[in-house]
Structure 1
Amino acid sequence: MRNTTALLALLAGSALAAPKSTCWPGWEGISHMVVFGDSYTTTGFNDTLAQPSKANPLGNPAYPGYTATNGPNWVDFLTTTYNATFLKTVNLAYGGATVDSALVRPYLPTVLSLKDQIYQEYIPNYSTHPKSFNWKKKNTLFASFFGINDIGNAYSNANASTVLAQDIAEYASLMDVLYQSGARNFLFLNVPPVNRSPLTVAQGHASQRLEAEYISAYNANITAMAANLSSTYADATTFVFNTHRIFRQVLNDPCSHLETCAYKNTTDYCVDYENGTDSWYTFDADCGVAVDEYFWLNSLHPTFRMMNATAKAIVEELSGSLW
């Protein structure tokens, strides 16, 4: 068993900060959102094209964008289904992203890491409060969803503990950059149990166990990072959403959430669906059930129903009430 102690010990503290800051207006007061992430998050937004507007609150491309979930993802659902007021969203997520490509290499060198998303896109284009996205400290939520590729691309390496400790430290440092730019309200999604994805299952039980250990350690550090951020800055509010728990619930029992009760297969995927389908509900007889009745679209990504349940649960936590 590989030692994950170095990763677990990186950040002190574990208590999740409560939303006490005067900069947190409640979910109903959030009218702008800036999002960073990987393929679980991207909608294919291009910062040089149409910006968020009444016609399309995500700017571009047309809803739901280019997602990896064969339909809307959690950002789409937050922006257009579970929003409490009109919500403009700038989604800078990029498929395959890690926190810092210099620490954990993505699958292609052109992939924009969290560091790139912040320094190449957010800082020059949005930290300046442009007229098209004139956000304020008190009406904007900064959301980040990282760790899937960081862990997935590193956990089997001999130096995984060291690299992932550096990775989470860089994650924390980049949140400081956002704070200095004016961000005050932060949402972090922790890492889902992708050790149960067909990709890792195919690699055997040892790989599943090892990836699970690193996911657990990484998630503990996300919680600690959030707590440290809000304790360092008195006017910062942080939320950590337990993506791992809700994915685990649905994988164990699809009807644990109404939005996912249609799932009939939570272990496999159908190759005829893996690159997406013309409809969110396509049925191919060779696959046995419709694409939206599979939890897994392909070897790593869930279908849109899981994203719907995720977004709904996020808003329930942010608003402190049930939808």
Structure 2
Amino acid sequence: MQFQIRALLAASAIVSVGTAFVPYFDNLVTFGDSYTDESRLGYFINHNGSAPPPGLLLPESTNTAGGGITWDRWVSNYTGAKLYDYAVSGAVCSNDIIYRYLAPIFGPFPDVVYEVNAFIADINYINATTHTNTLYENRRDSNTVYSMWIGTNDLGVGAFLTDSSLNKTTIPDYVDCIYDRFDSIYANGGRYFVLMNTAPLQLSPLYGMPDAGGLNASHYWPDKPSNISEISGKMKEYTSLVNSVFEYRTPYELLIAKRYPGASFAVYDVHSLLTDLYYNPTAFGLTAPAIVDTPYYLCDPSGANCKSSSISLDHYMWYDELHPSQQTDEAIAKEFVNVVKGDSKYATYWKQ
């Protein structure tokens, strides 16, 4: 059966390797969590839990979970594409699957369901003075790429890893949520999509093996169980499972189910990119001596006594226990540019 599926997909697919993935790359619209967010969660916190109003382009920021410039801002800087960042730190795909409360905003972290709805509100925004949309002034189906990178909080502590999902939901429900969001973006003009698969979280200090920098406890997980080898192995299993589903489901939805007529998808294998970076960091731009198993910035399990390394951030793969550093984000961005060009070895391309 697996061979038959592969053969059918191979016969149906138009793979765009060697040609531009998108005709004109003028806009990048991003959805996700703290790996992508620049300032959206900060807006919620600074406005008593209120969301940014439709029509507001949030400012560029280096006050991020990774300690500097996010990967999507790097992409914008490299290509000149205008960035519309809807990601929210702490987000999951749906709060109906995973619910994580944040006291400063008096509710759960806004999820990707909110993010896509915010995007739709923005494209429908009409400025009362100009009677035009002053936010999206140059959005066409042929010049805009939509990226989705979500899963770190869905799969981790307080979520599937700790059996904390709601309503008897499972990992397939989280995957369904992602494609449901693509439905909404597609219905509102999206035609070029980059699905970024889950990072190798088992290599992070939060979920790592004990002989590879894995922490016994963290302010992200103060009461972490002592069986950290089992935790790391389970996380590896979860990320590998989800990425395998992405690998097969994306061409199925596009080419067999005909769910997105006229659309193009790239599945960006960030998992492999970051794994390669972990084992050969200087080849991806980290400064020698490169440090991949301990974070640049670390607090004690209570969240106090936080300290930064005396060595500069460009030496580090991880900013803290969970978040890639600015230097790692730059490596992700450089390869994202190749993905959009249509010639990345870390991407699989599908066109209906």
Q: TM-score, normalised by structure 1?
A: 0.78
Which residue among 142, 155, 159 is the counterpart of 2:161?
155
SS at match of 2:183: helix
Q: What residue identity is the alignment partner of 2:26?
A: S
**Large movers: runs of 4+ above 6 Å:** 158-161
Q: CA deviation at 1:32?
A: 1.4
Structure 1 pair 271–315 and aligned structure 2 pair: CA distance change class (3 A): closer
1:313 aligns with 2:335: yes
Q: CA deviation at 1:266?
A: 0.7
Q: CA deviation at 1:225?
A: 3.6
1:202 aligns with 2:215: yes
* 1:113 aligned residue: 111
For each residue in 1:123-182, what CA deviation from the matched residue of structure 2 results, as whole angstroms up to 9, or x when unmatched?
A: 222256923213111111111101111111212328799521111112111211111111
1:176 aligns with 2:170: no
Which residue among 231, 237, 248 is the counterpart of 2:275?
248
For each residue in 1:174-193, what CA deviation from the matched residue of structure 2 results, as whole angstroms up to 9, or x when unmatched?
A: 21111111111101111111
Structure 1 pair 181–159 and aligned structure 2 pair: CA distance change class (3 A): closer
1:49–1:60 CA contact under 8 A, matched in 2: no
1:188 aligns with 2:195: yes
1:66 aligns with 2:69: no
Which residue among 81, 87, 95 is the counterpart of 1:87?
81
1:212 aligns with 2:218: no
For each residue in 1:19-51, what CA deviation from the matched residue of structure 2 results, as whole angstroms up to 9, or x when unmatched?
A: 56xxx9645611112110000000114644985
**Length, aligned pairs only:** 286
SS at match of 1:206: helix
Q: What residue identity is the alignment partner of 1:243?
A: V
SS at match of 1:238: strand
Which residue among 76, 99, 110 is the counterpart of 2:93?
99
How far apart are the structure 1 equivalents of 2:266 and 2:289? 29
Q: What residue identity is the alignment partner of 1:104?
A: I
Q: What residue identity is the alignment partner of 2:342?
A: G
Structure 1 pair 114–225 and aligned structure 2 pair: CA distance change class (3 A): farther
Structure 1 pair 128–229 and aligned structure 2 pair: CA distance change class (3 A): farther
How far apart are the structure 2 equivalents of 1:39 and 1:158? 20
How far apart are the structure 2 equivalents of 1:64 and 1:18? 38
How far apart are the structure 2 equivalents of 1:303 and 1:50? 30
User: Percent same amino acid among aligned pairs?
Assistant: 20
* 2:143 aligned residue: 139
Q: What residue identity is the alignment partner of 1:90?
A: Y
* 1:264 aligned residue: 290
Structure 1 pair 155–272 and aligned structure 2 pair: CA distance change class (3 A): closer
How far apart are the structure 2 equivalents of 1:128 and 1:48? 10
For each residue in 1:224-277, what CA deviation from the matched residue of structure 2 results, as whole angstroms up to 9, or x when unmatched?
A: 3422342222301000111101111111121232x2244521101244689xxx
1:50–1:60 CA contact under 8 A, matched in 2: no
1:294 aligns with 2:327: no
How far apart are the structure 1 equivalents of 2:20 and 2:341? 10
Structure 1 pair 95–245 and aligned structure 2 pair: CA distance change class (3 A): same
* 1:76 aligned residue: 73
1:137–1:184 CA contact under 8 A, matched in 2: yes
Q: Aligned-residue CA RMSD in angstroms?
A: 3.0
Structure 1 pair 308–271 and aligned structure 2 pair: CA distance change class (3 A): closer
For each residue in 1:197-230, what CA deviation from the matched residue of structure 2 results, as whole angstroms up to 9, or x when unmatched?
A: 1111225110000011010111112223422342
Q: TM-score, normalised by structure 2?
A: 0.72
Q: Please list every run of 5 or more consecutive structure 1 residues that lacks an aligned counterpart in the other structure.
A: 1-8, 52-58, 275-283
2:22–2:143 CA contact under 8 A, matched in 1: no
